[in-house]
Structures are given as C-alpha cells and as structure tokens.
Amino acid sequence: MRRINQLRTQVAIVGGGPSGLLLSQLLHVQGIDSIVIERKTKDYVLGRIRAGVLERGLVALMEEAGCADRMHAEGIIHDGTLISFGQEMFRVDFADLTGHSVMVYGQTEVTRDLYAAREAAGGRIVCEAEDVVIEGADTDAPTVSYAVQGARQAITCDFIAGCDGFHGVSRKTIPDHLRQEFEKVYPYGWLGILSETPPVNHELIYANSERGFALCSQRNANLSRYYIQCSMSDHVDNWSDEAFWDELKKRIPSDQADTLITGPSIEKSIAPLRSFVTEPMQWGRLFLCGDAAHIVPPTGAKGLNTAASDVHYLYHALRMFYGEGSENGLNTYSQKALLRVWKAERFSWWFSNLMHSYPDHTAFDHKMQIAELEFLRSNRAAQMAMAENYVGLPY
C-alpha cells in the first residue's frame, strides 16, 4: 500500500469516543490543533448507549468546551440516589452531604454534542480508519498512520493521545516490559435495556436482592434504562422483554415494582464487569486517556467520569506546554491521573461487592453485605464517604 497523504497536527488523537472528542474540542478552544482518528463510522459512534450519570467535573469540562447548552437544557440534576436491599430502601442525599449533585445526561448525547461542535468548528475527524499504527512515540517525531479505503495515510505530530478504549492499539504500543496491568474480572455481567417508558422513580435505585443486583436508571421523562445482574455466560436471546421485566420487579422493593411501567425494549445488551488499570499512562509522547488505560465496573457510574478526569489533566498539561513552554504537566500526567483513577477503581469495586450476589457467597458473606447496608443507611459518615465518591472526587 502506498503512502498517499502526509498530514501534520499538534496532537493526534487516536479514538473518537467521548475522551477523544472532548480533548479535541477543549484543545480547539485554546487554539491547539488536533486530528481525531476513529476506527468506526460516525453513526456507529453516535449510536452507542452507555453511561448516564455525569459528575460536576465533566459538566464543567463540557462548559469549558462550549458544548453545555443542550446538557443544561435537557439534563436532569439528581441531588441523591436510592439504595434498596430486599424490601428496605433508603436515600443518600448528595446535596445535603456534599453540597454537590450529579447530572443525568446520556453519554450518547455528550458524544453527539461534542461531535456537532467539532464539525461546526471544521475539526478534522477521520472515520473508518483501519490498521492504526503508532510509531516513534518515544522520540521527538511521533507518527500515527492508518488506512482509509485502501489508501495509507500518515500524520506527524508533537503528541499522541491514546483515547481508543479498552480494545484499542494505543495501550499495546507501550512495550510489555514497561507496562504493568492490574485486572479483576467479576463473576457476573449486566443485562441492560432501554425503553420508552417513564422512569419508575425520579431518582436512580441501586438494588441489592437475593436474586442479584438491579439498577433503575433513566435518560429523560420518557426514556428509562434498567439493568439486572446476569451470569457471564448469559445471552440477550435468552431474555424476552417480559422475562426481563418480571425479573427486575422481583429485585426491587414491591412498592416500586407495583408502579413500574413496562414496555418494549428499544435496546438490549449484556456487558461483562471488570476492573482494569494499566501503569504508567504515558510512554514518551504517547498519553493514554479513558478506557484505553482503565476500566471500572459500572456500579457507581465512574467510567466516563474517570475518562473525563484524564482528559482534564492532559488538556491542562498540553495547555501549559503550548502556552508557557513548560513540560511539567506532561511529565506528571501519569502520576496525577493514576492517583484519581485508583480512587475511582476502589469506589466501583466496593460498591460492586456490596450490591451483587456472588456464586461462592456463604450465608455469612450475605449477612456482611446486609450489615454494611444497614450501616450505610444509619451512619452519616458512611453516607458522606459514599456521596463524596459518587458526585466525584475533586480533580
């Protein structure tokens, strides 16, 4: 294959998911040029249904990126969340405990708003880029090359942001002997559905039940997102809508189940749950952001938000470099990002352990979960620790 095109930019961004698009737009606002290289089509990227809860840090970044108008108009502020176990249910009041709230606004919408802003500004996004190769990341002249419709292209740049998710190429570009990976795979998955029905409650319900975990979430007044814990080997074809609703109702308190409005699902999928961190998050001029560097189980809604905190650190480091000529932010990026990543990992791991059923749990283990839930229900310090993590630790 022939190299037909040589492009130049300041920051080449591999991956056009929320991390890559947010970084690109923030850099643009500061007059720093970037090119986003994405493996999938625009429609595919915009069709993905994932996260639903935004911390204030991500809300502030969307504002700084000039992409917050629709989020503020359509997003829903949540001042607290509900936690149930069996028929018991209590509320953790984020606003009272921390002075902060979260924003319910889908990742799909965040991505859509960022995409629109990038396009309006004439930002360069290369879609359907195949066989992306990163070279010279440990030199002063890194390049990213890829093929589009059979033609090979190359970008020379100052820096590369690896925003290409868990299955991307960026992380694997860092030599094995310099990379350390930490992983925990949970013995269950989440079966999720989206339905055009009003949410069962105006707040989210995280439910611990002897039948397994359930989560009642939402996107807007007529769009609900529900999840139930399922086995890792389960398949969506095993779950009719009716079977899903029946099972969900058995896992939440009956007064909630009685008011649950059901309807046809418009999306149904199973996600495995894992915790994963790679260290370091930098190699030479390559910087990893978001799911490329770490994965959390979705309990606690930290995935997208932790991706956003990486983007925050990298964006400020690049601003410092281009604005003041200082490499200080770049040199400390990995250390700063990982400090916060591990706290999000701890919270998601703790909340997952507290809320799910485990195949190897004994009656004693179950009693421990209930005792911890009772403690959380009755203890303000415990609730404060939970709330501070949920609304997002400071950057």
Residue numbers at the binding site for ligand RFL (CB under 6 A): 14-20, 37-40, 45, 50-53, 107, 129, 132, 163-165, 167-169, 190, 192, 271, 290-291, 298, 301-305, 307
CB of 204 to ligand PHB, least distance (A): 6
State which residue, 190 or 206, has the beta carbon closest to ligand RFL. Answer: 190
State which residue, 35 or 62, has the beta carbon closest to ligand PHB. Answer: 62
Count of CB atoms within 10 A of residue 151's CB? 12
State which residue, 45 or 126, has the beta carbon closest to ligand PHB. Answer: 45
State which residue, 101 or 153, has the beta carbon closest to ligand PHB. Answer: 101
State which residue, 209 or 217, has the beta carbon closest to ligand PHB. Answer: 217
Residue 15 interacts with which of ligand RFL, ligand PHB, none, CB < 5 to 8 Å by class: ligand RFL
Residue 164 interacts with which of ligand PHB, ligand RFL, none, CB < 5 to 8 Å by class: ligand RFL
Question: What kind and span of H or E run contains 292?
Answer: none
Q: Pick from 27, 195, 50, 191: which is nearest to 112 by CA?
A: 50
Residue 117 interacts with which of ligand RFL, ligand PHB, none, CB < 5 to 8 Å by class: none
CA atoms within 13 A on the CB side of 338: 17
Residue number closest to ligand PHB, CB atom: 52
- Cα–Cα dist 278/287, whole Å: 12
First to last CA, the chain: 45
At a CB cut-off of 8 Å and minimum separation 6, what does 203 contact?
78, 80, 81, 82, 91
- Tokens found for residue 285: 């001029």
Q: Which residues bind ligand PHB (CB under 6 A)?
A: 51-53, 204, 215, 217, 225, 298-301
CB of 78 to ligand RFL, least distance (A): 12
Residue 116 interacts with which of ligand PHB, ligand RFL, none, CB < 5 to 8 Å by class: none
At a CB cut-off of 8 Å and minimum separation 6, what does 211 contact?
247, 250, 251, 357
CB of 148 to ligand RFL, least distance (A): 11
Given 18, 28, 78, 333, the catalytic residue: 78
- Tokens found for residue 50: 């994932």
Residue 304 interacts with which of ligand RFL, ligand PHB, none, CB < 5 to 8 Å by class: ligand RFL
Q: For this structure, is 298 an active site residue? A: yes
- Cα–Cα dist 356/67, whole Å: 36
Given 18, 105, 188, 302, the catalytic residue: 302
The amino acid that residue 295 corresponds to is I
Q: For this structure, is 78 an active site residue? A: yes
Q: For this structure, is 206 an active site residue? A: yes
- Tokens found for residue 126: 């290369």
State which residue, 17 or 329, has the beta carbon closest to ligand RFL. Answer: 17
Contact 217, 227 (CB under 8 A): yes
CB of 390 to ligand PHB, least distance (A): 9
Contact 290, 306 (CB under 8 A): yes
Given 115, 188, 206, 333, the catalytic residue: 206
CA-based angle 82:308:42, to the nearest 5? 105
CB of 362 to ligand RFL, least distance (A): 29
**What is the gyration radius of the CA atoms in the chain, in angstroms?**
21
Given 142, 199, 297, 298, the catalytic residue: 298
- Alpha-helical segments (H) within 205-332: 241-251, 254-259, 303-324, 328-331
Residue 299 interacts with which of ligand PHB, ligand RFL, none, CB < 5 to 8 Å by class: ligand PHB
Q: What is the DSSP letter of 298?
A: S
CB of 56 to ligand RFL, least distance (A): 13
Q: Any idea which residues carry the catalytic annotation?
A: 78, 206, 298, 302, 390
